[in-house]
Amino acid sequence: MEKFNPGVPSDLVAHAGIPLILAYLLRLNPIIAVFCGMLPDLVDKPLSYVFEMGGRYIAHTLLFVLVVSIAFALWRRRHGLAAFIGGISHLVIDWSVPWFYPFKEYSFRHYHYDIPEFFDEYFRFSNVGIDLIWMSGAAAVVFVCLWLARRYSKRRSQRE
């Protein structure tokens, strides 16, 4: 398996920014959403050094997200939803993760920054190009979420 790659700042932007936007739109606790959006990496990346396994394993599963969400829901019901939104957004962003481990084994071909092969071939000698792709995608998601929030708030104010 691949050794932990510290990644790029776009990972931080996506794993913190998208749960933050979703928490804002859904009126959930943003601290819990962002924490749970970062939690899979906070658990798995250190484990990859200790056990020399991939940086996406135990905490990058649906089971982990559900257990953490249930723990937060036992504290406060809405916190469970915030935790789920944060955790599931992390799994969606890191698309090549073993969602159903330990119930099903997965074998993924690992790409640099988890991008499809044609991007890997095209930008092989340019990490700047890869970062631009990820940052553009994250920016597009942010703009769409802000547009939806603005549209939703206009409709809501018209009803009142």
pLDDT in tens, 78-107: 899 999 999 998 888 877 667 666 666 655
Q: Which is more confident, 31 or 13?
A: 31
Mean pLDDT calculated for residue range 34-53? 82
- Could you tell me if 35 and 141 are in contact, meaning their C-beta atoms sit under 8 angstroms apart? no
- Could you tell me if 42 and 35 are in contact, meaning their C-beta atoms sit under 8 angstroms apart? no
Mean pLDDT calculated for residue range 120-136? 54
pLDDT of residue 91: 85
Mean pLDDT of the chain: 73
Q: Which of 42-51, 66-75, 141-150 has the highest mean pLDDT?
A: 66-75
pLDDT of residue 94: 79
Using alpha carbons only, what angle is made at residue 6 by residues 138 and 128, rounded to the nearest 5 degrees? 50
- Could you tell me if 28 and 82 are in contact, meaning their C-beta atoms sit under 8 angstroms apart? yes
- Report the candidate in 131, 98, 139 with the shortest Cα–Cα distance to residue 112: 131
In angstroms, the CA 119 to CA 138 distance is 17
pLDDT of residue 85: 92
